[in-house]
Chains A and B, each alone.
Chain A
Amino acid sequence: MIRVLVPSGVLGLEFSKEALQVGLANNPDIIAIDGGSTDSGPYYLGTANSKYSRAATSGEWKYLLAARETANIPLVIGSSGTCGTDHSVDWMVEITKNLLHTIKKGVRIGTIKSSLSREQVVNALQAGRLKSLKDAPFISEEIINDCTGIVALMGVEQIQEALARNADIIIAGRATDTASIAALPLMSGIPPGIAWHGAKVAECGALCSTNPLSGCIQVDFHEEYFEIEPLDSMAQCTPRTVSAHMLYENSDPFVLHEPGGYLDVKNATYEAVSDRKVRVSGGKWVSFPQYRVKIEGVRIAGYQTTSLTMIRNDHYVQNIHTWIESLKQFFANSLDEKFGGDAETCHLDFRIIGSEATLGALENRSSLPVEVGILVLITAETQELANEIAKHINPYLLHFPLSDNEELPTFSFPYSPAETERGPLYEFCLNHALELDDPLEIFKIEVFEANA
């Protein structure tokens, strides 16, 4: 049996320290946690930035390092620093080294880096080793060469290599959510249908229980089944909470694609072992003859500045759509006049907060709000141009009248200046799989003494 302790769905989002202690007392074989996702958008991969603060990351990591030390077992984090770039791995290593006083001499850090260069991806495209996944956008050498960040999602093989090289703390770049949990069970001979299924259910920590905020859960991987239970005394895993997790952020409720194959849980069974523990069996793993990993890439699609104006005047609120249309028409002409050809390359997108800002053209309800906010997104080929245009439209967002023969209105700017520079606009541009001859081929693995 292999026992995996999962402290939380992601490092940085808090977990119960008491539950962690309960988990440690149960003698786990490994602690595994995820560090990232694309869910917060392309900015993080575009800039190699972490979504969670350094303070939150370091504060929680400290507890996990101490827990690892007490139990003398490996600790693995996948998708370090939200986006899992090489830079993010270095950031996590640096945080770890800063917590050195909690680490004994001789402790070995393993790093697995998964960033790809543009050249590597262009070569793969030319060699026909890049396969489009579902709903993939069109790609070309030009698009790849525009990318500011590209990562490959590792599976279990890369983490197993670091474990085999006796790493105590494994800091991995971008990985699938499940890989850090499934690695040790698979290495220990647990059948893949059981190992991947258990890892999928556990990847968001206690989200598969009745109390998602408690964080910590424990998975026991056996030959024929896995058992999962929350470590917080107030939380429960039930067959329903556990099986429902396959639905989460997954387009197919029965199938999960991973490097090297896919998990099929159509015939899985979920039974309650107690009022808080669930036993699961029947997950099936299907191997692909060709090993491949998913890659993610982000490019800059322009530079943005935003402006916000608030309108409370009832007459303008009632006529807001007419006002916007007439303002757009006015800008079309005045931008042409002031900026010439440059204006054609820029976009002004209007979001009427209080009316259709969330759903846009899909919005099918209308009722009169008390007030509206007009958020204008200005996207241009350079930041300078986006800022210039924002300054140009500023007085009109403040004073543009509904008709010619009325006194100029003045709306409400919430702050000064009303425009905010947002920097580059990043865009996901890859949804592809990269074929590999050897799972370790593109991943850079190093194991070294933490305080040598």
Chain B
Amino acid sequence: MLKLRDKVLKIRSKNAGPFTVTVDVFCRNQTNLKRVLGLLDGDTLAHLYNVEKHRFEIFEVPDLNVIKISFPRTHIQGSRLDRDMHGAQFAELLNEMELPGNFQQCR
């Protein structure tokens, strides 16, 4: 099964302060960016990160072909239930997100 990491240049995540995680999806070009953006709707992200969908902020950075996704941490950085101090492994869920068979035709 094709995964998102197979179709973009790079996906990374990191803390943006102790209360927020931010994910950068580096796409190959504008067409690729629009296709990926089409997949990353609130419901998909909410399911992946178990955060209410209205709490995701999604930005398009056209000059860099980047999609930026920021959301509050369920567990504050370093608190008892936090498992990832730097928030850098959250990206793996998007890296491994399975793509629909018709991804290349997506608009």
* A interface list, Cβ under 8 A from B: 38-43, 134-137, 240, 243-244, 247-254, 270, 301-302, 347, 349, 351, 357-362, 364-365, 377, 379, 425-428, 431
Task: Establish whether residues B76 and A427, one from each chain, have CB atoms under 8 Å apart when the complex forms.
Answer: yes
Task: Establish whether residues B14 and A249, one from each chain, have CB atoms under 8 Å apart when the complex forms.
Answer: yes
Q: Does B41 contact A (CB under 8 A)?
A: no
Q: Which B76-95 residues have a C-beta within 8 angstroms of A?
A: 76-81, 83-86, 89-90, 92-93
- Also in contact, A360 and B83, with CB within 8 A (given A38-B77, A251-B20, A428-B18): yes
Alpha-carbon separation in the docked complex, A360 to B89 (Å): 12
Task: Establish whether residues B80 and A377, one from each chain, have CB atoms under 8 Å apart when the complex forms.
Answer: yes
Residues of A within 8 A of B63 (CB): 243, 270
Sorted nearest first, the 7 A-B pairs with minimum C-beta distance are A251-B70, A41-B78, A251-B16, A135-B19, A135-B72, A428-B18, A42-B78
Task: Establish whether residues B79 and A428, one from each chain, have CB atoms under 8 Å apart when the complex forms.
Answer: yes
- Also in contact, A362 and B20, with CB within 8 A (given A249-B15, A251-B57, A427-B78): no
Which of A134, A136, A251 has the largest number of chain B CB atoms within 10 A? A251
Which of A40, A137, A247, A347 has the largest number of chain B CB atoms within 10 A? A247
**In the complex, how many angstroms separate the beta carbon of B79 from the nearest chain A beta carbon?**
5
Task: Establish whether residues A254 and B14, one from each chain, have CB atoms under 8 Å apart when the complex forms.
Answer: no
Residues of B within 8 A of A43 (CB): 78
- Also in contact, A38 and B57, with CB within 8 A (given A362-B48, A362-B49): no
Could you mark each residue 38-66 of chain B with 1 if its beta carbon is under 8 Å from any beta carbon of chain A, else 0?
Answer: 00000000001110000001010101101
Q: Identify B80's interface contact among A253, A425, A428, CB under 8 A.
A: A425
User: Knowing that A251-B57, A359-B89 are A-B contacts, what are 12 other residue pairs whose CB atoms are under 8 Å apart, sorted by A's residue number?
Assistant: A38-B18, A134-B19, A135-B73, A137-B19, A247-B24, A247-B68, A249-B22, A251-B17, A254-B61, A349-B80, A361-B50, A428-B18
Residues of B within 8 A of A360 (CB): 81, 83
Alpha-carbon separation in the docked complex, A43 to B78 (Å): 8
- Also in contact, A358 and B84, with CB within 8 A (given A39-B15, A42-B18, A428-B79): yes
Residues of A within 8 A of B80 (CB): 301-302, 347, 349, 377, 379, 425, 427
Which of B48, B78, B90 has the largest number of chain A CB atoms within 10 A? B78
Alpha-carbon separation in the docked complex, A351 to B81 (Å): 10
Alpha-carbon separation in the docked complex, A425 to B50 (Å): 25
Residues of A within 8 A of B59 (CB): 252-254
Alpha-carbon separation in the docked complex, A244 to B27 (Å): 13
Residues of B within 8 A of A247 (CB): 22, 24, 61, 64, 66, 68
Q: Identify B93's interface contact among A39, A137, A270, A359, CB under 8 A.
A: A359
Identity of the chain B residue whose Cβ is nearest the Cβ of A248 in the assembled complex: B14
Task: Establish whether residues A431 and B93, one from each chain, have CB atoms under 8 Å apart when the complex forms.
Answer: no
Task: Establish whether residues B66 and A253, one from each chain, have CB atoms under 8 Å apart when the complex forms.
Answer: yes
Residues of A within 8 A of B19 (CB): 134-137, 428, 431
A-B contact pairs, 21 of them (CB 8 A): A135-B20, A249-B17, A249-B22, A251-B57, A251-B70, A252-B57, A252-B59, A253-B61, A253-B68, A254-B59, A301-B80, A349-B81, A358-B84, A358-B89, A359-B83, A362-B48, A362-B50, A365-B96, A427-B78, A428-B76, A428-B78
Alpha-carbon separation in the docked complex, A244 to B66 (Å): 9
Residues of A within 8 A of B77 (CB): 38, 41-42, 428
Residues of B within 8 A of A251 (CB): 16-17, 20, 22, 57, 70
Alpha-carbon separation in the docked complex, A357 to B59 (Å): 30
Residues of B within 8 A of A253 (CB): 59, 61, 66, 68
Identity of the chain A residue whose Cβ is nearest the Cβ of B82 in the assembled complex: A41
Could you mark each residue 4-33 of chain B with 1 if its beta carbon is under 8 Å from any beta carbon of chain A, else 0?
Answer: 000000000011111110101000000000
